Structure 1
Amino acid sequence: MEKIEISVICTSFNYERYIGHALDSIINQKTNFPFEIIVVDDCSKDHSRELLQAYKEKYPDLIRLFFNEKNKGLTRTWISICKEARGKYIARCDADDYWIDELKLQKQYDMLESDEALLWCNTSFNIVDEKDNVLAEDVFRNGPIAYANSYEKMIATKGMTLTSSWLVDTKLMQDVNEVIDPDSVDDGFPMQLEFFKKTRLAFVDDPCVAYRMTSNSDSRPDSESKMIYRINGLLKTQLEYLEKYPEEDMAKIAEILVRQDAKQEERIYFLNKRIIELEASLKNPNLGQVGIELITIYLDRAGKGFIEEDILQFPLEKADSIDLELPEDCSRIRIDLSEIPNFFQHARLVSTDSKTEILPTFTNGIVLGETLVFPNPDPQLIYDVSSQTVGKSLQFHYHLLELDNIHSDTYIGKVLAQEFLDAKFKIKDLQHEKIISQDLILKLQKEIEETTNLYNSVIHSRRWTIPTKIINFLRRKK
């Protein structure tokens, strides 16, 4: 039996809806080494057990199943199941997430094997919703989640390295499991703090994982009491680790905290404004789309990605044109069109020099003609502005749709109805063109068939074959 190099561990609780996707993404990994898949179900109440047993029957040599007879919770389940790992490394994939790069394991394995000092590796990721729609691409580069790649950032911001992207030395993982609190509200948080104390984090700069944002998950419970319990639990872990490792750079931690506090104050201020405006809009519906949030423009300078230090901010109005002068080392920009769902009659980025529109390379909205619909929070547009032809002088034009004033020409109902009507007519035109094209194809096929028959009748006629035989005879005589 070949030596197993990686044990992929998948923990699940009531994830019948998603775990098949997760397992398929693991099974489809392409590697030059053997790996195993360990699945543990934490006493699910849905049909997860039957589904998992079907996978086991299909892949008996690849999958190992474990079932908790009583619900232990995520942290205790993880600590226990890691003892079953037979590989040199442990990879993690939570049951509601899945991998999107077939070479994920191979890339991370090669990276850790290249340097014996490396014991922990993660990757970038995309955020998807419950229906697999991409909400954010390459998150550690583009946001909205900051990359907590140091002990100081992790403890100050309660950040993430994304557990479902990890590849960790098995002994390191098992050692860390022995020292973390089994009652922790989030097993990944203390584990990351311990990893940072014991090794350096290696990073595969590719989005290899889809991180699913689901309702009523462990990190975003619907219950108010559960959410407060989680917040207090994370605070408890922070305080414990400040005491456990007092030699860490407290000045750096304090700097991160005060910057984050300022950011939170800003958010609270604009949220309060939003509440006031919403109260006013209830009294006067025509004020429903008055701009009270911010448009935030992130600059990717020198390939550093989108970070909080390089941003421009402007009040969100009903309609506006924003002049931008980009620095020379700016290769991309990300425009966050508020923090709430929004609807735009149009949103265009135009080069001032060439007067041409620059098309986005990514948006998490729905494009309907010129209309942009963002049904989810944090609407985004990402543009590549590295080309010399684009120039560094740009203008961003936008116009919000009216949500309340049905008499306005930009009332969302009117605009979307017109877009759908235009699309309907376009479909009819295309269908008509398709019929014409099919008739033309049939006509051409008939002409080709007639020409072919005529050609065959000529070359096989006596008037053609007899002269041909005479010519061939004379050629042979020569």
Structure 2
Amino acid sequence: MKNDKVMVSIICTSYNHGEFIAEAIESFLMQKTDFAFEILIHDDASTDHTAQIIREYEKKYPDLIKPIYQNENQYSQGVLVELINHERAKGKYIAVCEGDDYWTSPYKLQKQVDYMESHPECSMCVHAASKVSAKSHKVVAPIRPSKRDKVFSVAEVIEGGGGLFATNSIMYSKEKVLKMPSFYMNATVGDYPLVIYSALQGTIFYMDENMSAYRVEVNGSWTNTEVSNIENKIKHYDDIADMLDEINRYTNFRYHEVIERTKKRDRFFLLLKQHKFKEALKSDYKECYMHTGFLKKVIKKLIV
């Protein structure tokens, strides 16, 4: 028999996800657990039929699905919309999935909770996922940072960048990640600083099991709108560099070496994006292009 106390809060942000939101919600509802969970959906004033679909599910599962429907878009006003659900979550753990993504295993939550309950030092548990094209509906690439279960260090998380783990694989301890630090509040992206902060609060455990699908090529997505051209990419990398500098100060420069190396690598790939190959091949960036797997990474960065 399940304990009525909420163990996991599923937090889902949505905006114009009418084509996908039902699949996301169904993947939440299919979870088989021996504990109670809640589904917190924040619709940021969608202009399509997203809110209507959420309301239909809310009527069917009023004790489980607890939405917020905004009348005005909060993201465009600079509000950190991820925190709206974080702050109202009742669960010991918080599982993240945006409205255009979905989970593929009915045992995802149970497996992550089982690990975190038996490893109280763990602040975040993640797992493998697939990138799925919203256009072709086919798997285009795996998100698999390790070929075995692994605890990732703070340095590995910093150097891994924002795409190291799939967003919808994240489960974190609300107790350990209760109040977000300034570098999170000031950042223009949410996942990367969240993972770094979690790594600073405990351990990050990666399960080498594919349990979710992360959609790419979604019209109107953050990636398509915010980093769709070179000017936006330059601003994005500048914002990341500023965030890493703030983390450097926050940690009393304990991770200075890896932070500087990560910033240099980002500048290197930005030069490649701009086709400034002569500048990229200067000696300043030698450690970047002499690194194992360079050609593979270059090709990937140039086509993404």
Deviation of 1:242 (Å): 1.9
Match of 1:230 in 2: 236
Deviation of 1:2 (Å): 1.1
Of 245, 270, 288, the residue aligned with 1:239 is 245
CA distance in structure 1 between the aligned counterparts of 2:151 and 2:204, rounded to whole angstroms: 10
Distance 1:259 1:43, change over 3 A: closer
| Preserved CA contact (<8 Å) 1:89 1:169 | yes
Deviation of 1:50 (Å): 0.8
CA distance in structure 2 between the aligned counterparts of 1:59 and 1:34, rounded to whole angstroms: 14
Of 52, 56, 59, the residue aligned with 2:58 is 56
Deviation of 1:90 (Å): 0.8
CA distance in structure 1 between the aligned counterparts of 2:234 and 2:292, rounded to whole angstroms: 33
Amino acid at match of 1:137: P
Match of 1:217 in 2: 221
| Preserved CA contact (<8 Å) 2:159 2:258 | no
| Preserved CA contact (<8 Å) 1:180 1:191 | no
My pick for the range that moved more, 147-156 or 13-22, is 147-156
Match of 2:195 in 1: 192
CA distance in structure 1 between the aligned counterparts of 2:143 and 2:28, rounded to whole angstroms: 20
| Correspondence 1:311-460 to 2 at 5 A | 311=293, 339=300
Deviation of 1:23 (Å): 0.9
| Preserved CA contact (<8 Å) 1:75 1:182 | no
Amino acid at match of 1:68: Q
| Correspondence 1:17-166 to 2 at 5 A | 17-73=19-75, 76-131=80-135, 132-141=137-146, 149-156=152-159, 158-159=161-162, 160-166=164-170
| Preserved CA contact (<8 Å) 1:148 1:161 | no
CA distance in structure 1 between the aligned counterparts of 2:118 and 2:85, rounded to whole angstroms: 28
**Aligned-residue identity in percent:** 25
Per-residue Cα deviation, 1:143-175 (whole angstroms, up to 9, x for no partner): xxxx99443344445333332111111223332
| Preserved CA contact (<8 Å) 1:107 1:204 | no
Q: Could you say what secondary structure the match of 1:34 adopts?
A: strand
CA distance in structure 2 between the aligned counterparts of 1:52 and 1:9, rounded to whole angstroms: 14
Higher relative contact order (CA 8 A, sep 6+): 2
Q: Could you say what secondary structure the match of 1:90 adopts?
A: strand
CA distance in structure 1 between the aligned counterparts of 2:46 and 2:197, rounded to whole angstroms: 30
Distance 1:223 1:137, change over 3 A: closer
Distance 1:86 1:258, change over 3 A: closer
Deviation of 1:230 (Å): 3.0
Task: Look at both structures and tell me which one has the larger radius of gyration over its CA atoms.
Answer: 1
Deviation of 1:271 (Å): 8.2
Distance 1:271 1:224, change over 3 A: closer
Per-residue Cα deviation, 1:450-469 (whole angstroms, up to 9, x for no partner): xxxxxxxxxxxxxxxxxxxx
Q: Could you say what secondary structure the match of 1:37 adopts?
A: strand
Deviation of 1:251 (Å): 3.0
Match of 1:202 in 2: 205
- How well do the aligned residues superpose, as a CA RMSD in angstroms? 3.3
Of 170, 191, 197, the residue aligned with 2:174 is 170
Deviation of 1:101 (Å): 1.4
Counting matched residue pairs gives: 281
| Preserved CA contact (<8 Å) 1:41 1:66 | yes
Q: Could you say what secondary structure the match of 1:174 adopts?
A: coil
Distance 1:153 1:261, change over 3 A: farther
Distance 1:54 1:115, change over 3 A: same
Q: Could you say what secondary structure the match of 2:23 adopts?
A: helix
| Preserved CA contact (<8 Å) 1:6 1:35 | yes
Distance 1:224 1:55, change over 3 A: farther
CA distance in structure 1 between the aligned counterparts of 2:275 and 2:229, rounded to whole angstroms: 25
Amino acid at match of 2:14: S
User: Which runs of 5 or more structure 1 residues have no equivalent in the other structure?
Assistant: 274-307, 314-334, 342-376, 379-478
Match of 2:287 in 1: none
| Preserved CA contact (<8 Å) 1:40 1:65 | yes
| Preserved CA contact (<8 Å) 1:8 1:37 | yes
Deviation of 1:224 (Å): 5.8
Distance 1:157 1:310, change over 3 A: closer
Amino acid at match of 2:139: V
CA distance in structure 1 between the aligned counterparts of 2:157 and 2:50, rounded to whole angstroms: 34
